[in-house]
Structure formats: structure tokens, C-alpha cells
Amino acid sequence: MSTSKRKLSRRTSWVTAAALSGALLGSAGVAMAQSDGSTAPSTTTAPATDAKPTDRVAETPLTGDIAAKVTAAAQAAVPGGTIDRVETDSDGSPYEAHVTKSDGTKVTVKVDANFAVTSIDDH
């Protein structure tokens, strides 16, 4: 290969490398500019009637035997109601069940450690 062709070949390689680097850096810059670094919001949201104040301690969904006992206690206390969820309670009682009554109103059934209903609170 002649000297002029080698110089042209090297120059072409450098130009190609520079162009590719610029394209990659430009793409990264655009991607970073479009993202604020936060994660995408969840598409699953709770109904507004079940929203919890942010200053309360998180409540944990119940599972297994405890969930079954709390569900049974709530169903006995609110016949014909639909259990929306059962969870720990951050406000005095160990457990609670959120129930939609047959007329569409919502209540929270508080259940103690012996699975006895201690109150039924309207929303």
C-alpha cells in the first residue's frame, strides 16, 4: 500500500472512530436529559377512599391463618359485606379489615389479638 493510501486509511479510521464516539456520547446525553433519574410511577393505585395519611406507620397485609381468622371475624361483624383487605393496624388494634358493606359504604373492622371485633369504624 502506498504512503498516501496509508495516511488516508489512518485518517478515515480516526474520523470513523471520532464519529462513532460522538454519536454514542450524544445518545447518552439525550437519554440522560430525558430521564430525571427517578423510577417510573406505579400503574397500580389504591382507590382514593382507601388512601392512608402519610404520617402513619405502614400497615402490612395479612396472610395465612391470621388473615383467615381476621376475615372470619369481620364477616361475622358485617354480614353481607365484602372484605377489601386485611392488614395489621397502626392505630391501636393489632389487626383490621377494610370492608365494603352491602349498601356500598365502607367500614374498618378492628380485631384484637384474640380475633374478637373491638370496633367497626365508618369511613
Q: Are 85 and 107 in contact (CB under 8 A)?
A: no
- pTM, 2 dp: 0.55
For residue 93, give the C-alpha cell.
Answer: 388494634
- 20-74 pLDDT, tens digit per residue, is 455 444 544 444 444 445 444 433 334 444 444 445 578 999 999 999 999 999 9
109 & 63 share domain: yes
11 & 67 share domain: no
Upper half-sphere CA count for residue 94 (Cβ side, 13 Å): 12
Question: In terms of DSSP H, where are the helices of 35-102?
Answer: 64-77
- 59-74 pLDDT, tens digit per residue, is 999 999 999 999 999 9
Biggest CA-to-CA distance, the chain: 96
Inside any domain, residue 72 = yes
Which structural domain range is residue 2 located in? 1-34
Of the candidates 74, 65, 95, 97, the one whose C-alpha atom is nearest the C-alpha of residue 84 is 97
| CATH code (residue 107) | 3.30.505.20
47-to-8, 98, 101, 122 alpha-carbon distances in Å: 67, 12, 16, 16
Quote the number of domains for the chain: 2
